[in-house]
Amino acid sequence: MKAKNKSSIKIVCNNRKARFNYFFNELIEAGIVLKGSEVKSLREGKGNITDSYATDSNGEIYLINSHIPLYKQSSYNNHNPRDMRKLLLNKKEINKMLGKINREGLTIIPTKLYFKKGKAKVELAIAKGKKIYDKRNVKKKRDWQREQARILSRNK
């Protein structure tokens, strides 16, 4: 019998826009509270965290504006696709995150939604928004690297 890989990670969705729009200070892994139909929909590879963010409410962190589509086979147990979802973090981690957000004007952005050892996890980034000139510099650097690669490939 073949042994399973212990650190098997199945990525459901990435937030590629976040790397372009924010500077990441710290990455944190958090669990997420889901209903049964949400889990089944995510296991099919459907989900979107592009425009989502996390905020606190009564000392707990919630993921807002994430979209998990309805599961077809679920009937009356179906969920609301744009519902607020509670994130599972230790009190110490929550206090640390809230302290950074309140003091330094940072925000919490989800970067990945994935399954790790059968549990749904979210990778959160404590991030600071980029200015327009920062985004321009990133585009300029990316274009130059692409051009450099073309030149080097032609010379070989």
Rg value, the chain, Cα: 19
Q: How far apart, in whole angstroms, are the C-alpha atoms of residue 20 and residue 38?
A: 28
> In total, how many domains does the chain have?
1
Domain range spanning residue 74? 10-130
Is 59 inside any structural domain?
A: yes
Judge whether residue 3 has pLDDT over 60: no
Share of the chain above pLDDT 90, in %: 46
Is 5 inside any structural domain?
A: no
Dump pLDDT digits (tens) for 62-71.
Answer: 999 998 888 8
Dump pLDDT digits (tens) for 85-128.
Answer: 999 999 999 999 988 888 887 999 999 999 999 899 999 999 99
- The encoded tokens of residue 26 equal 């710290």
Is 124 inside any structural domain?
A: yes
pLDDT at 45: 87
pTM: 0.80
Is 135 inside any structural domain?
A: no
Is 33 inside any structural domain?
A: yes
Dump pLDDT digits (tens) for 29-52.
Answer: 999 999 888 888 899 888 999 889
Judge whether residue 1 has pLDDT over 50: no
Cα distances (angstroms) measured from residue 74 to each of 43, 44, 70, 77, 79: 14, 13, 8, 6, 9
Is 76 inside any structural domain?
A: yes
Q: How far apart, in whole angstroms, are the C-alpha atoms of residue 32 and residue 2?
A: 30
Judge whether residue 149 has pLDDT over 90: yes
Is 37 inside any structural domain?
A: yes
Task: Say which CATH number the domain at 39 has.
Answer: 2.40.280.10
pLDDT at 107: 92
- How large is the average pLDDT for residues 48-62? 90
What 8-state DSSP symbol labels residue 15? -
Is 72 inside any structural domain?
A: yes
Judge whether residue 130 has pLDDT over 50: yes
- How large is the average pLDDT for residues 2-18? 78
Residue 74 vs residue 147, higher pLDDT = 147
